Structure formats: structure tokens, C-alpha cells
Structure 1
Amino acid sequence: MQVNDYLFQGNEGERAPKSVKRLIVNPGIQVLPNELCYNCERLREVTMPQGLIKIGSRAFGLCFSLLAIDICSTVESIGQSSFWKCQLLAKIDFEQPSSSPHQLRSIGRHAFRYCLSLQRIKVPSSVNLIGMCSFKSCDGLVEAILSSTSIKEIPSWGFAHCRSLQSLSLPSSLERICDSACIDCTCLVTVMVPLGAQPIEIEAGAFYRCRCLANLVLSQGSNASENSFDGCALLRDRFGKRTDAIVAAMINRFDDFPVHKLCYDHYSTTAHELRRCWTENKEEIDASMVDEFGMTPFHVLFSTTEPSGELFEVLLDKFPYHVLSWKDANGKVAMDYLVSNWTDTSTSLLDMTLQKWIFCRLERWCAKCWRNVMIPLVNTLLAEEDKGRRMTVFIEICSILKKYENVEATSILEMTLWKRHLKRGRSNDGTKRQALDREECRCVCGSDVVIPNVIQFFVGIHQ
């Protein structure tokens, strides 16, 4: 025990002191009482024993310094507002030993509301109930994975005002998305519903102002209230303002895009199935690399939760590298979604993507000096954990690559003009020395671009 450590003994009426920095729960304790550490602003660490069953209401509310929490596998319920306004809480780990499944059944109302630093949540398969406002206003939340749970509804205001939320995966047991469930999730692109799932009822304002929403597949028989998709700019621009028209479009979302469809449903798709789909539909795929939202299969895959590395490798093998540079209707290249959603999986996929998108092109250009500029930037990007700095480095990489593309295009154009002038000079006057032709052409064809930028390509071939 150290100074400001506190051992919770489970005595009646016991509360942790406000000065506590580390809470140690005594083995044998089954319940953390209501408001055990409420407003303990200096609390940074909690150690929970196996055997704990319940976390009481507001047990850790307003613990502004709490950074991470491990929920042991024996916990069955997380009480109302239990982690409310833990603004630095960045990681919630639902500890799950291989010997026994997690026992968590319910997450109470407002349980993680205003956890501003939380970036990712994967709810255990044992959960069958999530209370209203449970993840409301988690501004940093990018990915929420509920696909293995048995919940029947996304509660009212469950993910409301999660303005960084990009992807939300839902279980096949889902029957209802309640009113205002995802209101004002302005970055939400993909809501994953297993293909062939039961019909879903979408209540009023469920996706209000989800202006980036593009990927949502509904089963036949699904229905939505009249204003469910108000403010969904991409959907309304393409399918009109009528809710029934949007629902019909979502039921048939990927009917004409077989590869997109498999990437959306990647949890159920194998690499073999994707290759077979490519072989059987190659002509259609070549004619329809992008859907109504300007999305390639890369966009669809990268905007989902836990994108599949195996499927990505198939896409890399089948599609030309320049497809990775295409922007969707949200103005994003596929890699934007990986950079914003930082997990071990996305880091690995981003590394593979950068190899294809950047270094394959640099090798084609044979520009060794350009490669030397890019390598440290890519390494910095892959090692950076801060989202803001990571995006800054990625933008810098894109900007430099765009500059290189412009130099390449300009150099090719100028070299073509130069050759054209040389040819014209020789045909008009065969008595002139060729060296003189070159000198004259340099004055009018931009050789100041050609000479420094084209020659290095030829030099690079021998390096």
C-alpha cells in the first residue's frame, strides 16, 4: 500500500476518501456500493477482484482522473451513472478469461455518459440490456461493437451526440433502434446489421443529423418513423426526403455491388468467398468500382468495425493501387477511416495500405529521394498514438504525395512537349545541329522542369 491508496473492506456505509488515487477492492467483496468513489477527482486506478458481481450507481461518477478500467468477468451489472463524466477514461476492458465467459448482463442508464476520452467499446456477448443514454456524449468514441451481444434494442439516446462515432455494429437479435438513439452522430458512416437479420423498427429521430451515414443494410420488412433520417444529407440527396424511399434503398443497398456487400458483411465473409465473387462478377465489378456514395470496397471495409485483414489482402491483389486515392461523397479516401479508428488491426492494415498506395508508386517512379522523404513520415504515422497528431502527419503525407503526383504529371507533359519541339525543329530544318535544337527548345518547353525531375527517374532505375 502506498500513500493515497485505499483498501475497500465492504463495511456498511463505507466510502473512499476524496484524496484516493488507487482503489483496491478486498477479495471476497461482491458489491461496490452506490457512490463509493463519487467525485473522487484524483482517482486514477481501480483493482477489482474476481467474484465481484455488481458495480453500484454513481460508484465512480465524476472521477475525472480515472484513465482505464478492467471490468472483471464475474460482474453481472453496471449501475446507473456508474462512470458518469469520467472524462479521461480512455479504455474499458471487459476481462474475459478463456476458462469462463463474461457474466455481464446489463449496463445501466447513463453508465458511461460524458466519457469524453473513450475511443472504442466492445461489449461482451453476455450483455442483453443497455440502458438509455448509456454512451451519450462520448465525444471521442469512434467504434462501438455490439455485434456479439443479445440486446433487442439500441436504447433512446444510447449513442446520441457521439460526434466522432464512425462505425456501429449491431447483433442479429436486434429488433428496434429507439428514438434519438444516434442523434447528432455527425461522423457516423456505417451501421453494420448482419445480412439476413430480422426486420428492424427504426423510431423517430434515431439517425437525426447523421449527415455522413451511407452504409446501412436493412432486412425485408424493416420500417422507420417519418423523421428517422432527417438531416441525413447523403441519404436524402440520393434517395429523396421520403422515409419509405430511404428504407427501400437501404434494403437493396448493395444489390448491384457484390464485392461491396461482402466487405460490409466481413464478419461472415471468407477470403475464398471474396475471390470467388471477384471471378464470377469481374465484368460487373470493373464497371461499378464505386457505389452511389463514391465508395470503393476499400471505403466500405475500412469504415466498418474491426475490418478484416484477409479480405483487405484480396482487395489489394485485385484492385489497382490508384483506387486507394479515390474520395467518397464525404470527401475521404479509404485510409482516412483507418487513421481515425486506431486499433492494432487498423495499424496493421494501414501499414499494408501505405505500402501499396505510396511505396509501389514511388518504386514505379524510381525516385529514391522521394522514398527517403516518405519513410520517416510513414514510421511516425504508424507509431503516433495521439489522434490529432496522427491526422496532422497523415495530411502531410497526402500533401507531399499530391505534390509528387503533380511533379510526375508535369514532367511527363513537359517531356512530351520537348520531344515534340525537337521533332518539329528537325523536320523544318535538317541543316541545324541537334544540340542547337535542344537549346532552342529549352526556351519554350519548360525543360527547367524536365531536366531536374525526369532524369532522376532514369538514374533511379540503376540504384
Structure 2
Amino acid sequence: MTSCHFFGNEGEAIPEDVEELVIHPLVQAIPDEACRGRFERLTRVNFNHGGSAALRTIGKFAFLKCVSLLEIEIPPSVTTIGEGAFMSCQSLTVVRFVKDGSSSSSSSSSSSSSLTTIGEKAFANCRSLTDDISIPSGVETIREHAFAWCPCLARVFFHEGLKIIDSGAFNECVKLEKVNIPRSLEMLGSYAFRGCTSVQEVNIQEGNLREIRSQTFEECVKLEAITISSTVERVGSNAFRDCHSLRVVKFHNGLRSVEDGAFYLCTNLQSVALPGSVESIGRMAFEGCPKLVSIELGDGPRDMKIYGLAFSECVSLANICLPSASTTTKTTTNESSHSNSFSHCTELQNQYGDSIPLALTRRFENFPIHKKVYHASVTTPVELSREIESSVQSSEGNIHKDRLVDPFGMTPFHILLSAANCRLDLLQILLDSYSPRVLGWKDYVNEKTAIEYLIQQSDHLTTDNSRLILQVALEGWLIRSIASWNGLEAWKADMSNRVNVIVAEDGANQRQSLLQEASMALSRYERMEATTLLELSLWKMELNSADAQTPAENEARRATVKKEAYHIRSGASVVIPNVIAILYCDLLL
């Protein structure tokens, strides 16, 4: 058994039982297949003996199937790692890229490496590779399948300067948790991260990337959210297919096409906002997304093509408006001729039958407030306020008569709370403009209230205040109470009826159940009363503050506050951001 041997001694054969191989300081290239599968005992290769800077290239399949090799340190002089150089080194756990002046390097310290290319399958099928991989900043290209089928690889760090991540580069790295794409990247190859079943977060920075190719993130089953940068013009076929945990997708203006099956079977996808630049939505692009409620398409007439089965079997889809010039194109395959873009969209078909595309192009034709709220991503609070003011004036002060519901029976609250961009500032304007009981109205198709849409779309609430609103809504008492409350007399009548039912009940078990329900109802009413008293005290403070003004101003101020006091909506700007937080904390105790 030979423990150590120099590679590069002229005319000298290397024993096959060697355990450590030292690369001669004058060697500039390790030839193709130099140690391919012949050294089963080889555990270590010293590439940087004596600090030599001579080595430039590690050839194709140079250490293929060296099954006992444990770790390697690539010296800073190396510019190219060839195809399959360390492929199927089953025991390899650590790969470090050494910087100048150091014998080793941490995973994040690789800035002075000369490496520019990591070859095809260079580290593929290294099934024990567990250490963090930091790609040196000089690397411009990671070739096809370079790190594919490395099931223990959890973290990879990319640096600015990287231009190409080729097809399948990290295919089926099942423990990879996070992907950060640098601004410099120009090409992200097909199925580059397919089957990375532990990836939960993907960040694509604004930069040079123009497309996400086919199957890039297919079967990333734990991926929950993705933001597509504004430079991306195309999302390729099956790019996010079978991403079952994907709930939120954010696009930017500049996107032109979403191709066939791009989000096929994303079973938790709830809403999508596509910018006005989109020209086509491919076959089966969103097919089989049963929780998809809302599709927001950019405003304005244009020639958008929506191909067959694009939204097929989106059984919950109830909030969509097509550009007026869009067309639906039936399939050209062997599927039956009646297959179309909205096949088996139950909620849409219940409302419109077979005329869905035509009806959707006209949906907001006479509903300007709905339209402003639907396009929340580009609507400003000032624009919405002006539209509401205009509607009030046109309906002689009664906003409820001015087209409060659209053809789906959805109020602006329904539209906003099921939209891809649920904005709290616009929600506040609606709360200040509409009676709170509108929150309890149900739409025609799904028979859901606006609050039920809010709960269903919970992942779109990103601010602390809106999270609190959602949590209180989930408790189920506040909004239902606001929607149905008619004052103290209603409380008394309800509790009186409950007591009468309890007295009339003979069964002990049933009586106990009724007592519990009554107790819960009383507790809810106490919370409501506390909220109301707080609002009244705030209004009283407003009245008192007017006392220092002139009599005329005082009277006008009193009249204004009294008018506001008739509507719970008038306290929304105070209660929502401040009081709910207190009540919510009380609920948790």
C-alpha cells in the first residue's frame, strides 16, 4: 500500500493502491481520464503542493469514480475544471476554491480564484457533498449538470460575474434550500433547478436575465413565492410545473409570454397579476390550479392570445377581466373541439356558460371603481378617492345605488381582497367610503363574503396592520359583528332569545351546549361594546375640541362629527391600526 505519490514524475507509473496523490509543482494540466476509476483507495489529492501556480486545467473525467476521495482544494491558478472531472466521487464531502496566498479557503472567500468555467457534470452525482459551495466570482459559466444529483448539497453561493447557469446544473439537488440569482446572470438553463424539493426561496435580482427556460424550477414542491425580475420577457414551458406549495407569483412590466404548462398543477396558487406587456398565455399555463381565485391582467385594449386549456380546471376562478382585444385560441391537438381556455372553470361557467371570454372582456365596462381596485398595482389612493367621489356625485349622494356590484355580484371589497395585490391603503379608502355591512355581502358565484376572500388570500397581506386585520377576521367575531350589528337593542334581543331557548330545553347535554354558546356570544358582545365605547369616547373628544372655536365653527364641527358618528366606517382610520392590535393581544391571552 502506497500512502503518498507525486503525480507528474516523468516515466513513473502510479500504484493503484495509492491513498494520497500530490500534484507536481510544474504540472500545468491533469490529462483527461488521468485517474479515472483506477484508484479506489485514493482519499486525498494535493493540488497546491509548494504553493505552485502552474496548474491551469483539470481534464475531462480526470478523477471520475474515485470513490474514496474525501475532499479537494482547487488552487487559484486553475482556470477550467473539465467535463466529469470529479463525477461520481461518492465519498467527496468538501470542495473548496482556494484564494491566493492561502492553503485553504472558507466557503465565502473565493474572490481571487482564476477559475472561469466549471465543466459539464464536473461534480455530478457526488452524493456525499455536504459542505457549502461558494462559486468563485471569476466563474462565468457553470455547464450542464455540473452539480446535478448531489442529494446532500444544501447551500450554494453565487457571486456577481456569473453569466450562465446551464441546463440541469443543479438538477435534483434535493436538499438545496435557497437560490439567489445574481444581477450578472444572462442565461438560466432548462431544468437548472428541477426537482430541488427543499428549495423554499428563489430571488432573481434585477439585471440581465431575459427568460426563465423550460422546466427551470419544475417540481420544486416547497417553493412558496417567486418574484420575476422586470428584465424577464418569457417564462418557459413547465417552468414552475408541479410547484405544489407556490402561493404567490409577482411579475413586472416587460413580461411578454407565459408558455405552455408554466404553472401547471400549482395546486396552492391563489392569485396572479400579469402586467400589461403580456402578449400570450400558453396552453395549460395555469391548468389544474384549483385554488386560483384571481387573475389580474394589465389594463388596456391589446391583442393578447390565450391558448387552449390555459386556465382549465381552475374551479375557484372568479375574479378575472380580459383585455378587450384579447382572443382565445382553441387547441390544435387531438383533444375534443370544445376544449378551450376556460374549460371546467366551474365558477365562471355558472355565471356565463360558454360565453366566458366575451363576457370577461366587458366585465368592468360600467364599473369604474371596481376597475380601479382590480388594477390595484397601478392605482393610487388619490385616483380611487376621486373615482368614488365622482360616483357619489353622479348618484346624488347615494353610493350604494351606483353599481355597487359587478356581473359576478362582487363589491370593490371582494375585488381588492381577492386580488394579487391586496393593498391596505386602498382598503382603508373603501372602509371610509362604504358601509361596513358591505363586507358581509356575498357574491353571486361563490357565495362568499369579502372577508372570506381575505382569509383565502392571506399570503398577500404583508404589513403588520393587515396581518392583524386578517387574524381578527380569522377569529370570526369582529367583521361578522360589524356586518350584522344593529346596536344595543339587537344585543339584548339576541341574548333574551338565547336565554328563553335554554329555559325551554329539557335535555341536560343540549342545555349545557346552549349555555356555552350564550357565554361565547356574551363575550363577543362585551368586546363589541368596548370597541364602541372607545369609538364614542374618541368622537366625544372631537366634539369637546371644537369648544374653543367660534360659535359658527363650533356648530359646524359638531354637525360634522355627529354625522360621522352614525357610521362605524368613520372610526375605521382609528380603530383598524390602533384598537385591533389591543383586542388581538387580548384574544391571545
Q: TM-score range by the shorter chain?
A: 0.7 to 0.9
Structure with the largest fraction of helix? 1
Does residue 136 (structure 1) correspond to residue 241 (structure 2)? The answer is yes
Q: Which residue of 2 aligns with 1:24?
A: 134
Contact 1:189/1:215 (<8 A) preserved: yes
- What is the 5 A alignment of 1:56-205? 56-96=166-206, 102-151=207-256, 153-205=257-309
Task: State the Cα distance separating 1:336 from its structure 2 match.
Answer: 4.7
Partner of residue 400 from structure 2, selected from 278, 282, 286: 286
State the partner residue of 2:310. 206
In structure 1, C-alpha distance between the alignment counterparts of 2:310 and 2:528, rounded to whole Å? 58
| 2: CA distance, partners of 1:27 / 1:330 | 53
Q: Secondary structure at the match of 1:256?
A: coil
Q: Match of 1:267, SS?
A: coil
2:39 maps to: none
Counterpart position of 2:52 = none
Q: Which residue does 2:4 correspond to in 1? A: none
2:95 pairs with 1:6: yes
Q: Which runs of 5+ in 2 are unaligned?
A: 1-70, 74-91, 98-114, 331-339, 506-510, 538-589
8 A contact 2:248–2:459 mirrored in 1: no
Return the match for 1:38 from 145, 148, 171.
148
Change (3 A) 1:6 1:174: same
RMSD value over aligned CA atoms?
3.7
1:312-351 superposed matches below 5 A: 312-328=427-443, 329-339=445-455, 341=457, 345-348=461-464, 350-351=466-467
- Corresponding residue number in structure 2 for 1:424: none
CA distance in 2, matches of 1:4, 1:216: 51
> In the superposition, relative to structure 1, how do residues 279 and 140 fare at CA in structure 2: closer, same or farther (>3 Å)?
same
Judged with a 3 Å threshold, the aligned counterparts in structure 2 of structure 1 residues 4 and 344 are, in CA distance, closer, same or farther, namely: farther
Structure 1 residues 413-439: Cα deviation after superposition (integer angstroms, max 9, x where no partner): 256779xxxxxxxxxxxxxxxxxxxxx
Report deviation, 1:125. Answer: 0.8
- Matched-pair contact (CA < 8 Å) for 1:60–1:84: yes
TM-superposed CA distance for 1:457, in Å, is 8.1
- SS of the aligned residue for 1:240 comes to helix
Structure 2 contact 310–341 (Cα < 8 Å) conserved? yes
User: Alpha-carbon deviations, 1:136-179, whole Å to 9, x = none?
Assistant: 1111111222232332x210111111111111222322222121
Higher relative contact order (CA 8 A, sep 6+): 1
- What CA distance in whole angstroms lies between the structure 2 residues aligned with 1:403 and 1:289? 22
2:476 alignment partner, one of 395, 398, 407? 398
The offset of 1:123, in angstroms, is 0.7
From the superposition, tell whether residues 338 and 44 of structure 1 become closer, same or farther in structure 2 (CA, over 3 Å): farther
> Which range is displaced more, 69-78 or 210-219?
210-219
Change (3 A) 1:139 1:335: farther
Q: Pick the structure with greater CA Rg.
A: 2
Q: Give the counterpart of 1:309 among 418, 424, 429.
A: 424
Give the CA deviation at 1:189. 1.7
Corresponding residue to 1:413 among 486, 493, 507 = 493
Kept after mapping to 2: 8 A contact 1:257/1:285: no
Aligned residue identity for 1:321:
P
Deviation of 1:223 after TM superposition, in Å, equals: 1.6
Deviation at 1:237, TM superposition (A): 1.1
Equivalent residues of 2:323, 2:361 under 8 A apart: yes
Task: Determine the C-alpha separation between the residues in 2 that align with 1:234 and 1:401.
Answer: 25
Q: Distance in 2 between matches of 1:210 and 1:163?
A: 10
CA distance in 1, matches of 2:200, 2:480: 34
Shift of residue 214, structure 1, vs aligned partner: 2.1
User: Secondary structure of 1:286's match?
Assistant: helix
For structure 1, which runs of at least 5 residues remain unmatched after alignment? 97-101, 355-376, 379-393, 419-439
How far apart are 1:126 and its partner, in Å?
Answer: 0.7
1:403 Cα deviation (Å)? 9.6
User: Do the aligned residues in 2 keep the contact of 1:338 with 1:350 (CA within 8 Å)?
Assistant: no
Q: Match of 1:93, SS? A: strand
Q: CA deviation at 1:313?
A: 1.8
Distance 2:528 2:413 in 1: 33
- The secondary structure found in structure 1 opposite 2:462 is helix
Structure 1 residue 221: Cα displacement:
2.6
Pairing partner for 1:271 from 381, 393, 416: 381
Maintained 8 Å contact 1:31/1:52: yes
Work out the CA distance in 2 between the residues paired with 1:271 and 1:51: 41
